[in-house]
Amino acid sequence: MSREVLMAAAMEVVDTNGAGAFSMRALGGFLDCDPTAMYRHFATKNALLDALVDSVVRDGVADLPESDDPRADIRANFRQLRRSLLAHPTLAPLVLRRPPGVGAYWERSDHAVAQLHRAGMDPADAANVYQTLLFYTLGHTLSEARQLARAVEKEGAGARGGPVAQVRPPAELHPDLSDVAPHLREDNEAQFLAGLDLILRDLPR
């Protein structure tokens, strides 16, 4: 049994039952094989889960654009990372088991930093903007993933999370918040992209 077959099966088990319920025994039952056979490729369950996380982070990196618009290319990079993580919501929180930006992130990170350089940023400014983009994307996405993971636990694989909760504070107590409440987006992706665009707003084209 190949490493690729094991990872594909493990991803299906995780997406269906959740990362918290994953075990080598459960994977062996899914594949109808002796769990010890899997240890030829992965020393531990956590090693296999880490490999799955790495595959999600790397997903789509080879197709990231390099056009004449660095801002659009960076936007596409982090939008694609969000979508890849949300495709596997119960697995997504495991990205925090290791420092963000290392290992599997290197290809994606190099693409983002290259676009910042193309836009004329010096290394120090590029580093600050890159880290802001990465931490914003992970924070926003993991908040969404948590909601989706709960839906998966209740409804099974393919469940969809609900919209962002509406904010309707009493105007007499919170006048300023009430003033902006109608402009708060209920759509998660729309809100994510709005924040991303604010970070990139002053980036030269």
Torsion over CA: 54, 142, 138, 199 (sign): positive
Above 70 in pLDDT, residue 56?
yes
Q: What is the pLDDT of residues 80-107, one digit of tens each?
A: 999 999 999 999 999 988 887 778 899 9
Buried b (16+ CB within 10 A) or exposed e, 81-104: bbebbbebbbbbbbbeeeeeeeeb
Residue 95 lies in a domain: yes
pTM: 0.86
Residue 143 lies in a domain: yes
**Contact yes or no for 161/147 (Cβ under 8 A):** yes
Task: Provide the mean pLDDT of the chain.
Answer: 88
Residue 103 lies in a domain: yes
Q: CA-CA distance, 177 to 168, in Å (whole number)?
A: 9
What CATH number corresponds to the domain at position 109? Answer: 1.10.357.10
| Residue 167 φ/ψ, nearest 5 degrees | -105, 115
Residue 149 lies in a domain: yes
Q: Which of 185, 151, 44 is nearest to 198 (CA)?
A: 185
Residue 7 CB neighbour total at 10 angstroms: 17
Find the DSSP H helices in 121-162: 123-155
Higher pLDDT, 186 or 127: 127
Q: What is the pLDDT of residues 126-183, one digit of tens each?
A: 999 999 999 999 999 999 998 888 766 666 655 555 555 567 878 888 888 888 877 7
Residue 21 lies in a domain: no
* Total of domains in the chain: 1
Residue 2 lies in a domain: no
pLDDT at 73: 97
Domain range spanning residue 126?
62-200
Place of tokens 């402009």: 183
Q: CA torsion 172→176→177→178, rounded to 10°? A: 50
What is the H or E stretch that residue 106 is in?
Answer: helix 106-118
Residue 93 lies in a domain: yes
In the structure, what pLDDT confidence band is assigned to residue 30 with cuts at 50, 70 and 90? very high
Residue 44 lies in a domain: no
| DSSP states of 60-81 | TGGG----S-HHHHHHHHHHHH
